[in-house]
Amino acid sequence: QKEVEQDPGPLSVPEGAIVSLNCTYSNSAFQYFMWYRQYSRKGPELLMYTYSSGNKEDGRFTAQVDKSSKYISLFIRDSQPSDSATYLCAMYNSGNTPLVFGKGTRLSVIA
Amino acid sequence: DAGVIQSPRHEVTEMGQEVTLRCKPISGHDYLFWYRQTMMRGLELLIYFNNNVPIDDSGMPEDRFSAKMPNASFSTLKIQPSEPRDSAVYFCASSRTSGGASEQYFGPGTRLTVT
């Protein structure tokens, strides 16, 4: 079992839909959770950052962490065509250990 | 700041040839990472440096791969000899720290095709 599992999609939704993207992980030591967004032919860029369990909201984006279930989610409200990208979850435990990335979910928002 | 700079952006080479990918990190960042991205395997960490010193190269697939960081503003990833299965997008990233407490800034990537 890989440390971080993420459904690669693709996921196609109509404009205005609520999108739910998810990752599961096996390492209970992970404490820091991130979502990176990667547009086509670009490098990933940090979108959301969460420490431990709970929710974090930023505009139309909400990141949710459930450490008891080893499950993290990213919700996008009122999705826009400009949200079309690949979304990668990433996580790490502490100290100087590097990030562990999921494979990414490709999202298309259709106008 | 110009961000992380990578060159070349595209590289097409024949099997057996040497390939050198280059990266200039963001000034002031102490950590530099090399990743490889494919559809099958996603984003894989190959090696990372702290203050120009390699810290973990366990992700380097074979001895054909080598990476150097001669100074704080330059790093190379070399593949010799290259093979078709090395075809991928190679990303360089830099950050102030190595873990998730510090955002990693990615370059635009080098798309490598080995025929």
Contact B93/A46, CB-based, under 8 Å?
A: no
Mean pLDDT confidence for A33-44: 96
Residues of chain B with C-beta less than 8 angstroms from the C-beta of A45: 105-106
* Alpha-carbon span B88 to A27, nearest angstrom: 28
Pairing of strands B42-50, A100-101: unpaired
Contact A42/B99, CB-based, under 8 Å?
A: no
Chain B residue closest in CA terms to A94: B99
Q: What is the pLDDT of residues B11-69, one digit of tens each?
A: 999 999 999 999 999 999 999 999 999 998 999 999 999 999 999 999 998 899 999 99
Q: End-to-end alpha-carbon separation of chain A, Å?
A: 37
Which candidate, B52, B64, B62, B57, places its Cα nearest to that of B23?
B52
pLDDT above 60 for B85:
yes
CA distance A96 to chain B (A): 5
**Residue B100 pLDDT class (50, 70, 90 cuts):** low
B69-73 — which CB contacts under 8 Å span 24+ positions? B69/B32, B72/B25, B73/B24, B73/B25, B73/B27
Q: According to the model, what pLDDT value does residue B98 have?
A: 63
pLDDT above 80 for A2:
no
Chain B residue closest in CA terms to A47: B103
Mean pLDDT confidence for A57-62: 96
* Alpha-carbon span B63 to B53, nearest angstrom: 18
CA distance B14 to chain A (A): 23
Contact A49/B93, CB-based, under 8 Å?
A: no
pLDDT above 60 for A18:
yes
User: B5: Cβ–Cβ under 8 A, 6 or more apart, which residues?
Assistant: B23, B24, B107
Reported as type and span, the H/E element at residue B35 is: strand B31-38
**% of chain A exceeding 90 in pLDDT:** 78
CA distance B18 to chain A (A): 24
**Which of A72, A103, A105, A106 to substitute to test the interface with B, most B CBs within 10 Å?**
A103
For A1-111, list the strands marked E by DSSP. Answer: 4-6, 11-14, 19-25, 32-38, 45-51, 54-58, 61-66, 71-76, 85-92, 100-101, 105-110
CB B108 within 8 A of CB B8: no
Q: According to the model, what pLDDT value does residue B72 have?
A: 95
